[in-house]
Amino acid sequence: MMGVIKSLGVTAKHAIKGDTFTVEYPDESPGISPRFRGTHKFSLSRCIWCRMCEEVCPNGTIDIKMNEKREGEEYNLNLGQCIYCRLCEEVCPVDAIILTQHFELNAGTKAELEYSMEDLMDVPWYKGVDPLEAREPDRGAWIGTGEEEDVWEPGSGTEPAEAD
């Protein structure tokens, strides 16, 4: 019973102060974390068709078709199936695929969320986004700056520094 009274007190305190946590979407755009995992961006010019993204995908979201000469013919992406785990982005050796901060998807059926290579070139979140530049703010958070305090050696007796 005390827990209910305490939580009502916290709610009343915020209501009286006028603090709001709700964003009036779509009139206001919500703040998005730099590590947010949104829809994919695929760079056909960077891709070397190694198929590592397809192999690492845990649920078959990415489907790549090759011809007899091992040249890529089709790159298909099923966003209705994706769990946005970011494994495809991490495994790509040439940064040909990234997860953008775009999250506004709508479709009447799951089939409408299946994109071919040609479809992906016309979607709105592809316009004017370079994969490497879009990834840059997040990259430092994942790999660190290379400074002495960022490097942690196992057995050094100190705990690794927490990421911001």
Domain residue limits, the chain: 37-142
pLDDT: which is higher, 155 or 69: 69
A 10 A CB-CB count for 69 gives: 6
Q: Can you tell me whether residue 66 is helix, strand or coil?
A: strand
* Site of tokens 């790999």: 143
Class of domain 37-142: alpha beta
Contacts of 134 (CB under 8 A, 6+ apart): 41, 98, 100, 101
Give the range among 25-29, 118-122, 123-127 with minimum mean pLDDT: 123-127
Q: Please state, in angstroms and rounded to a whole number, the distance separating the CA atoms of residues 67 and 22.
A: 51
The tens digit of pLDDT for each residue in 43-83 reads 777 888 889 999 999 999 999 888 887 777 788 899 889 99
Contacts of 64 (CB under 8 A, 6+ apart): 49, 51, 53, 54, 72, 74, 75, 76
pLDDT higher than 70, residue 136? no
Q: Please state, in angstroms and rounded to a whole number, the distance separating the CA atoms of residues 100 and 135.
A: 8
Residue 164: what pLDDT?
Answer: 47
